[in-house]
Amino acid sequence: IGVVSLAIISSSTHQTSLLSELSDSSPQSLQSTQGVMETNGLKHLIALDKIKSGGPPKDGIPSIDNPKFSEIGDSQFVSDSDIVIGLEINGDSRAYPLFILVWHEIVNDHVGDVPVAVTYCPLCYTNQVFHRVINGTEVEFGTSGKLYNSNLLMYDRWTESYWSQGLGIAVTGELTGMKLTTIPFDVITWGDWKKLHPNTLVLTTDTGHLRSYATDPYGDYYTNPRIIFPVDNDDSRMHPKEIILGFHENEIYKAYKQNDVEIHKIINDNVGDKSLLLVSLFPQNSRAFDRTLGGNVLEFEFLDNKIMDIQTKSEWTYDGVAISGELEGNQLARMSTAPGFWFEWVAFHPQTEVWIQK
């Protein structure tokens, strides 16, 4: 683990129970949005001519609906440097390698008894985990073969509505205007995820589909500036493929370079009326927390390889739990992040702010 202390990364003692929070997934976990239109009986939130074919037909990129997992001891097919989506719910830890997801884009799974859709759009590097219960009904998601702003349009197999993966919002169909609940997760190397979660499972290549999992069909797309499909807005404040973390609070949008978070280790900031803490202790990985506790806004620093709050000098773990000091036993609320390429974030949110060190 290097210089990162075991206290910082401990994650097994204090866990936020998502099962109780999400089991009531009725309309309160979904939000209606405004601006719904109707054309020939079809409800839609975006202009229909903005929906483009990505090439493959519906389900041509097959979702994984019966995922199979291995324990760490049988995970030789994953290298420590491979990037995974790491997810822990109610003590159930799982990793989903991007080299598998690049061929499937959606995994319909149950983690800690919670129905989830683990999603990845390679065109814009957007990773997102959704609670896949709509109006009390558990649904599966598949790939529609369509794109909006060069981003995956999923469809639910209950109503056939199209959902923007980057927004988490239904943009056409019966459920137009509804928003899915997101679940916090990690984008992280397999080697580092194993350190954080030694009892994790990992998705295997036994997907029921024959794919060349050892190769990436997108080649150097992730680093060159080319954007293959049209987007609504263009912005030169960053390289189009810069990896950012996007946040949205009260109509305020803000983007943070993943690289900046890694360099600074800790960023204290505000987005709208939300006081935000960003922490990065591992390459390509960041976590976000609400740094308001008991009505007070805490300021954090990384001192002597420890996460400390400046006000009380309490020490905190990478899970946002105070393990010593005046605030021992308290836990910060973890926030969902929206990691992805800059071009995709600004295409959806042209008014976005960009964090710059003051």
What is the per-residue pLDDT across 48-101, written as a single tens digit (0 to 9) for each? Answer: 999 999 999 999 999 999 999 999 999 999 999 999 999 999 999 999 999 999
pLDDT confidence tier of residue 199, bands split at 50, 70 and 90:
very high
Same-domain check for residues 181 and 262: no
Residue labelled with tokens 């558990």: 138
CATH number of the domain enclosing 297:
2.102.10
Which two tokens mark 118? 């683990």
Of 151, 179, 202, the position where a domain reaches its end is 202
Q: Same structural domain for residues 57 and 172?
A: yes
Q: Are residues 183 and 263 in the same domain?
A: no
Calculate mean pLDDT across residues 149-153. 98
The pLDDT-based confidence of 18 (bands split at 50, 70, 90) is low
Tell me, yes or no, whether 108 lies in a domain: yes
Per the listing, tokens 């003590």 go with: 91
Structural domains in the chain (count):
2
Q: Are residues 196 and 281 in the same domain?
A: no
Looking at the structure, do residues 109 and 177 belong to the same domain, yes or no?
yes
CA dihedral 297, 302, 305, 307 (to 10 degrees): 10
Environment class of 220 (CB within 10 Å of its CB; exposed 0-12, middle 13-18, buried 19+): exposed
Q: Which of 108, 30, 17, 113 is nearest to 64 (CA)?
A: 108
Per-residue pLDDT reduced to its tens digit, 152-198: 999 999 999 999 999 999 999 999 999 999 999 999 999 999 999 99
Question: What phi and psi values does residue 44 have, to the nearest 5 degrees?
Answer: -155, 150
Q: Residue 252 domain-assigned?
A: yes
Encoded tokens for 306: 């420890």
Mean pLDDT value of segment 255-280: 98
Q: Is the pLDDT of residue 28 over 50?
A: no
What percent of the chain shows pLDDT beyond 70?
A: 91
Q: Please state the pTM of the whole predicted model.
A: 0.92
Closest CA to 123 of 213, 42, 56: 56
The whole-angstrom distance between residue 140's C-alpha and the CA centroid of its chain comes to 18
**Bridge-based pairing state of the strands 252-257 and 243-249:** antiparallel
Do 59 and 131 belong to one domain? yes
Of 158, 174, 202, the domain-final residue:
202
* Within-domain flag for 9: no
Domain end (from 181, 202, 223): 202
Same domain, 254 and 302: yes
Verify that 282 and 331 share a domain, yes or no. yes
- 83 and 183 in one domain? yes
Q: Which domain holds residue 191?
A: 18-202
In a domain, 334, yes or no: yes
Strand 201-203, strand 92-97: pairing: parallel
- 349 shares a domain with 283: yes
Q: Are residues 46 and 182 in the same domain?
A: yes
